[in-house]
Amino acid sequence: MSTAVFDWPTRQDWISDIMPDFYQHGLAILPQAIPAQLCQALLEEVSKRQDLTAAGVGRAGALQQNTEIRRDQTAWLDGSTDAQQQYLALMQALQTQMNRQCFLGLTHHECHFARYQIGDFYQTHLDAFRGRSNRVLTTVLYLNSVAEGGELVIYDENNTELQRVLPQAGLLVMFESERFPHQVLPAKALRYSIAGWFRKD
Question: Can you give the CATH number for the domain in which 173 is found?
Answer: 2.60.120.620
Report how many domains make up the chain.
1
Question: What sign has the CA pseudo-torsion 107, 61, 180, 110?
Answer: positive
Tens digit of pLDDT at every position of the chain (201 positions): 556 799 999 999 999 999 999 999 999 999 999 999 999 999 999 999 999 998 766 555 445 567 788 999 999 999 999 999 999 999 999 999 999 999 999 999 999 999 999 999 999 999 987 766 689 999 999 999 999 999 999 999 999 999 999 999 999 999 999 999 999 999 999 999 999 999 998
Q: Give the strands of the sheet with 122-125, arranged side by side.
A: 122-125, 182-184, 152-155, 161-165
Residue 2 lies in a domain: no
Residue 61 lies in a domain: no
- Whole-model pTM: value is 0.93
The pLDDT value recorded for residue 131 is: 64
Separation CA 61–CA 64 (nearest Å): 9
Q: In angstroms, how far is the first alpha carbon of the chain from the final one?
A: 39
Residue 4 lies in a domain: no
The pLDDT value recorded for residue 1 is: 52
The pLDDT value recorded for residue 129 is: 74
* Per-residue three-class SS string for 126-140: CCCCCCCCCEEEEEE
Residue 106: domain span? 14-55+66-199
Residue 163 lies in a domain: yes
